[in-house]
Amino acid sequence: MILRKTINAVIVFLVSLSFQGCDLIKMKKDKKGAGERAAIARVNQTYLYQDEVAGIVSDKIKGEDSIARVTSYIDSWIRKQLLINEALKNIDIDEAEVERKILDYRYSLIGYQYQNYYIKKNMLDSVTENEIQAYYQSHQDNFILKQNIIQGIYIKVPKGAPRLARLKELIYANKPKELNELKSYCLSFSSVYHLADSSWIEFDKLVVNSPLAEIPNKIQFLKSYAYYETADAESMYFLKIDGYKISDNISPLEFVKGDIKNIILNKRKVELAHKLEEQVYERATKEKEFEIFNN
């Protein structure tokens, strides 16, 4: 109970420090100069000090959120220390191996942060159509369709929707005025619709929760019908297929263009990370910043 009161008092103190913009490094120096550090929690002979917790709360986090964050950190610290102590009592720990892993992890964190900084600073985010086309042509075997896809129109409307005859006419329209009329109709009466454009869409996702989803042989269906309409108890469904691609065939470029762009960008990130590592190593070698001793 006394410890809990102490912790709560420290939390309030730390929160107030954050609002005043207290600098963590300065705080550590002041504590060291005073010859003592104020402990806020203890597990056996291991202590958690105020200066180790001060940086947790920033001036952007206020009130109860600040108190909750510090309380959570202290509770988490206690639980981890207890688990470490329990482990040390029950199993043999290779302390040297643990320290090596901690050091490796620290280096990984710092290196990762700097790599991200370097990549953001030097990364070219734009990908040209020629780059996408070239990658697609060189890696077509990586873009085999896993599902059937179509281009076309799909519209679901209630059975009582008006002007259904006009809707069927508009499905085959190609003039801008008629296409705008079709879009306006769908906005007014359709709960689900997909209008024709250059994009490809997975057939199963398009017709989910409709009678079309129950078609047993979808490949044969796509090969047999350019237009199809059906109904259930409440709705009517209209499907016009302008183009289709069957699974296990090479995907159209338009369908995988976004994926290719991400692949190219990720490849650039890897190359930049490798370039940074090589630059740092070459500079350090030239300036004799490191040595390897032969014992």
DSSP state of 217: -
Nearest to 127 by CA among 286, 258, 20: 258
What value does the mean pLDDT of the chain take? 86
25 to 12, 39, 239, 288: CA distances (angstroms): 20, 17, 67, 32
pLDDT higher than threshold 60 for residue 19: no
What's domain 145-245's architecture?
Roll (3.10)
Q: What is the pLDDT of residue 61?
A: 58
Domain spans in the chain, listed from the N-terminal domain onward:
2-93, 99-143+252-295, 145-245
Q: What is the pLDDT of residue 35?
A: 53
Q: Are 235 and 163 in contact (CB under 8 A)?
A: no
Could you read off the pLDDT of 237-290 as tens digits, one per residue? 999 999 999 999 999 999 999 999 999 999 999 999 999 999 999 999 999 998
Nearest to 61 by CA among 52, 50, 73, 49: 73
| pLDDT band, very low/low/confident/very high, at 16 (cuts 50, 70, 90) | very low
| pLDDT band, very low/low/confident/very high, at 2 (cuts 50, 70, 90) | very low
Burial status of residue 127 (CB atoms within 10 A of its CB: 0-12, 13-18, 19 or more): middle
Q: How far apart, in whole angstroms, are the C-alpha atoms of residue 80 and residue 42?
A: 12
